[in-house]
Structure 1
Amino acid sequence: MSDRTDHELSRLRAQLGPVAPRFDADLLESCPSTSSLLLERAAAGAPSGSVVWALEQTAGRGRRGRAWVARSGASLTFSLLWRFAPGTRLAGLSLAVGLAVAQALERLGAQGVALKWPNDIWLDGRKLGGVLIELQQSGARTASVIGVGLNLLPPADGAVTDQPVAGLSASGARSTDAVTVLAALLASLADVLDHFEAHGFAAMRDAWQARHALQDQAVRLIDDSGEAEGICRGVDEDGALMLERDGVMVRVLGGDVSLRRQA
């Protein structure tokens, strides 16, 4: 561990305060994928609350095989291992994590943060970050590796992106310091994941809906079987998307699905 990473981890523990004992964080200068590394550690018995945070990520994974590359100083990229009790229903987990991220950013003073089903964080209609959940079964217990990527600053000039992208610096947040933001996110995740384990996504559905970026808007749903258009009516108590098509409500589960505003 370098002096720099040791200093940043000390700052993180201090800012986490009373919840610091719930996390065991490791900071890397560079890493291909924080989630891949943490999945390996989970299989080897790493405890719940383990965190891998990378200043630079070179081969991160997004949904549908998209890459998520983190630039040092401009992005926050980390993965959190969370082990759920046997029998916990995990429907809606990615939405619960998105809600935890949004609430943490709001507590930092960010304005205009919204959620797009199933796992995107938006700022004023542009992508601010995303969540990727990967599950690992061990006996009766389920380990969830929760990957979070967040843009602290806008993309560099000339950067190629497949959609409009925003940085937290444009949100009015009091700080874009990676340690401050990470501490806020981890504290929020601990609270939301405890609540999720006890009560399921249904208990936080209204809070998610209140931040829904595409509520009652015309959308285009894209998956491997083709495209469908309809009106986005939010999510049900399991986190499934409710799409109204020709007056009929269709329930869309998670998977390899892309949701976009109609042109």
Structure 2
Amino acid sequence: MIDLNTAAEQIWLETQADCPNISIEVLPETDSTNTQLLARGRAGDTAPMLLAAHRQTAGRGRHGRHWVAQAGDSLTFSLGLALDLDLVPGGGSALSLAVGLAIAEALDDGLAGLQGPTPAPTITLKWPNDLWWQQRKLGGILIEATPAPGVLPGQRWVVIGVGINLRPQGDQATGLAHACLQDLSATPLTAGQVWAWTAPKLLRAVHRFALAGFAPLQAAYARRDALAGQDVALWQGAGGQGNALLRGAPTDTGRADGVDQQGALLVHTGTGLQRWTTGDVSVRLAASSAPSPTLPPA
């Protein structure tokens, strides 16, 4: 708790110029930081806020997955603010890519600062909402939106949840310290440290995205795109059925060809170039048939 509270003070000082009315809170334990902020927005508490939890007991991810975030094993936090995503090309689908890019850049910058002249290994992005290192899951993003009293016409209360492994989680997921730091004994990595790296950059990135959309970020995303040029399997309509559908045969297969200016995934299939948005499909590398370990963010 001391670690996260210290980080909260640092984040507050760094974000005042961009968002002077932001509130920052740390909870010793909660079910889900996303759930907490969604409830606050529905109750009319819609000033921008950051919420982190020392321990999270019912984190949520895509397809209704759940997990427990043990203290010290991961960083879990959420950002809530009012946005009019209908005015932004790509809307919420593209926002998840912009968030992933901001978090990846912040982590690389933070790790490079710890490692001195040796650059940190580049963290990649698996469309639409996973952070990867060497094709292993490092973190995840969950974006949810709800109507809320007190927001401007057209706006919704948007909650952006982020989960980052500090230690490995299962056979196919990695941890930030173990994967990316060369000398763990010399540089212990804490949740507060990583929160201080990522939260200010995330807030600035969301504000820029609301003004300019995803198009200015397309080239930077392409440099971290873990799927581009890879053979992939696609499951259409997986949202409500979760892993039950993903254990079956894929709806389609093809070769990923990056993302467009609205953040949609482009895949060359047997029937031509297909365009997918986050609500339409789940995607995996074709060589990996087993469900990936879950790291719901919030």
TM normalised by structure 2 equals: 0.78
SS at structure 2 position matched to 1:233: strand
**Range that drifts further, 185-194 or 22-31:** 22-31
Contact 1:34/1:52 (8 A) holds in 2: yes
Q: CA RMSD in A?
A: 2.1
* Deviation of the 1:68 alpha carbon: 3.2
C-alpha distance after superposition, 1:126-182 (max 9, x if no partner): 000100000123442122100111101113xxxxx4x61010002128662211211
- Letter of the aligned partner of 1:249 in structure 2? L
Is 2:143 aligned against 1:143? no
Structure 2 unaligned spans of 5+: 113-119, 239-249, 288-298
For 1:49 and 1:168, the matched residues in 2 are separated by 28
Cα distance change of structure 1 residues 199 and 15 upon mapping to structure 2, 3 Å threshold:
closer
Stretch deviating more after TM superposition (92-101 or 242-251): 242-251
Equivalent-residue separation in structure 2 for 1:87 and 1:61 (angstroms):
24
- Cα distance in 1 for partners of 2:172, 2:222 equals 22
- The number of equivalent residue pairs is 253
In the alignment, what sits opposite 1:241? 265
Aligned to 1:106: 108
Deviation of residue 47 (structure 1)?
A: 3.5
Q: Does 1:172 align with 2:172?
A: no
Q: Partner amino acid for 2:33? A: T
Indicate the SS of the match to 1:47: coil
Could you tell me whether the CA contact under 8 Å between 1:151 and 1:168 is conserved in 2? yes
Deviation at 1:183, TM superposition (A): 1.5
Between the aligned partners of 1:252 and 1:11, the Cα distance in structure 2 is 38
Aligned mates of 1:236, 1:33 — CA distance in 2: 32
The amino acid of 1:257's aligned partner reads V
Q: Which residue of 2 aligns with 1:62?
A: 61
Q: Measure the CA separation in 2 of the matches of 1:176 and 1:254.
A: 32
Q: TM-score, with normalisation over the residues of structure 1?
A: 0.88
Aligned-partner Cα distance in 2 for 1:86–1:11: 29
8 Å CA contact retained: 2:11, 2:199? no
1:51-200 correspondence to structure 2 within 5 Å: 51-85=50-84, 88-89=87-88, 90=91, 91-108=93-110, 109=112, 110-138=120-148, 139-155=153-169, 161=170, 164-169=172-177, 170-172=179-181, 176-200=189-213
Q: Which amino acid aligns with 2:224?
A: R
Q: What is residue 220 of structure 2 aligned with on the other side?
A: 207
**Gap regions ≥5 residues in structure 1:** 156-160
Q: Which structure would you say has the larger RCO, counting Cα contacts within 8 Å and 6 or more residues apart? A: 2
Displacement of 1:12 = 2.4
**Structure (1/2) with the larger strand percentage:** 1
Distance 1:187 1:16 in 2: 9
Q: CA deviation at 1:256?
A: 5.7
Contact 1:9–1:25 (Cα < 8 Å) also in 2: no
Structure 2 SS opposite 1:26: strand
Q: Which residue in the other structure is 2:277 paired with?
A: 253
Inter-partner Cα distance in structure 2 for 1:183 and 1:168:
15
TM superposition shift of 1:190: 1.7
Match of residue 158 from structure 1: none
Q: Secondary structure at the match of 2:226?
A: coil
SS in structure 2 at match of 1:54: strand
Instruction: Give 4+ residue runs of structure 1 displaced > 4 Å after superposition.
Output: none
With over 3 angstroms needed to count, the CA separation of the structure-2 counterparts of 1:175 and 1:233, relative to structure 1, is farther
Counterpart amino acid of residue 151 in structure 1 = N
In structure 2, the residue matched to 1:18 is 14
Distance 1:82 1:126, change over 3 A: same
CA contact (8 A) 2:4 2:54 kept: no
Change (3 A) 1:8 1:261: closer
Q: Report the residue type matching 2:132 in the other structure.
A: W
Amino acid at match of 1:124: Q
